[in-house]
Amino acid sequence: MRPPSHFGYSLPLSLLLFCWLTMGVNVAYDGDIFTAYGFPLNWYTPSIISSGGYEIAMVRLIVDLGTYWVLAHLICKALKGLVPTPPKAGRIFQFLLWLSALISLFIGVAAFSIDPHLTFWKLNPPAPHNAAKSYFISLGLQPQPARTHQR
């Protein structure tokens, strides 16, 4: 019996990382702060058109999914052979990884399907290149904006 392939681990790991871990950027201009999420490209932002809505750039989303898969595949290849596990334990771990990835993906799709505004590439409003930006890491199925520190 052959051991499970890296794809059996890298695909669900990439979905988990995509659903739970992202980068955000706050852009301040014209007296407002706009927040967008995604790594390496911003693909999601709360809509300025309707409260509770989301603007989603589809091509950027696909690029981000591909980036997460490449990173997860490299992680799986790097860990190959470092942690010896019996085949049955590997299959159980792979099943649990897939189960958690699919549940996370289902919850994420349900959350983003409330009021999506789909675009091809650009998110609105486009920020000027010289606008003040701050980056942060966001954990969770619904990314949250960075908290500002007040003194």
Run means of pLDDT, 10 residues per run, the chain, 151 residues: 64 90 83 83 79 83 93 86 78 91 88 78 75 83 59 44
Q: What pLDDT was estimated at residue 77?
A: 84
Please report the pLDDT score of residue 3 as a whole number: 47
Per-residue 3-state assignment (H helix, E strand, C coil) for the chain: CCCCCCHHHHHHHHHHHHHHEEEEEEEEECCEEEEEECCCCCCEEECCCCCCCEEEEHHHHHHHHHHHHHHHHHHHHHHCCCCCCCHHHHHHHHHHHHHHHHHHHHHHHHHHCCCEEEECCCCCCCCCCCCEEEEEEEECCCCCCCCCCCC
Give the model's pLDDT for residue 143.
Answer: 67
Q: What is the pLDDT of residue 1?
A: 35
